[in-house]
Amino acid sequence: MHSIKISVATKADVAAIAQLFDAYRQFYQYPSDFALASGYIAERIEKAESVILLAQDVSGQALGFCQLYPTFCSLEAKPIYALYDLYVAPAARGAGIGNLLLLAAEQSAREQGMCRLDLTTAKTNLPAQAAYEALGWVRDELYFAYSKAVTAPC
């Protein structure tokens, strides 16, 4: 594997992450919208509402990203991270970049005093599920996840 650098994204990284974020949204069947992707990522970074980890090669090429949202677990009465976005560019897949991002997310969570990382993934995303389980993530068998749109379109 090539030398990969994982770092916390800054304003200078918005364009690179927005390209990946737009591709991530397309992976989940959303239409391409670079302006939306760029604005969303810029706002998260500017307002410090999430932690975005960026994977880059030695030339600075963005290869993947992971976005963590700080939240809380009421039952444990402790802070947690919701790992909502994880994406590796198709050309970079198979090199372990997703695993590096997951391990960096775990390290960030520890450093920030989080007690847990939570994530959801599509039932059909079997490669991601295998990667998570190989790194010690445990699938929830007790709870169902629900959502309800409160604005249109959502």
Q: Residue 116 carries which DSSP code?
A: -
pLDDT-derived band at 2 (thresholds 50, 70, 90) equals low
pLDDT-derived band at 100 (thresholds 50, 70, 90) equals very high
Tokens of 81: 């991270």
Above 80 in pLDDT, residue 21?
yes
Cβ 1 vs Cβ 96: under 8 Å: yes
| Sequence spans of domains, the chain | 4-134
Distance of alpha carbon 90 from alpha carbon 53, whole angstroms: 18
State the chain's mean pLDDT as an integer: 94
Above 70 in pLDDT, residue 1?
no
Superfamily of domain 4-134: Gcn5-related N-acetyltransferase (GNAT) (3.40.630.30)
Distance of alpha carbon 132 from alpha carbon 98, whole angstroms: 9
Sheet hosting strand 62-73, strand order edge to edge? 4-8, 51-57, 62-73, 78-88, 117-119
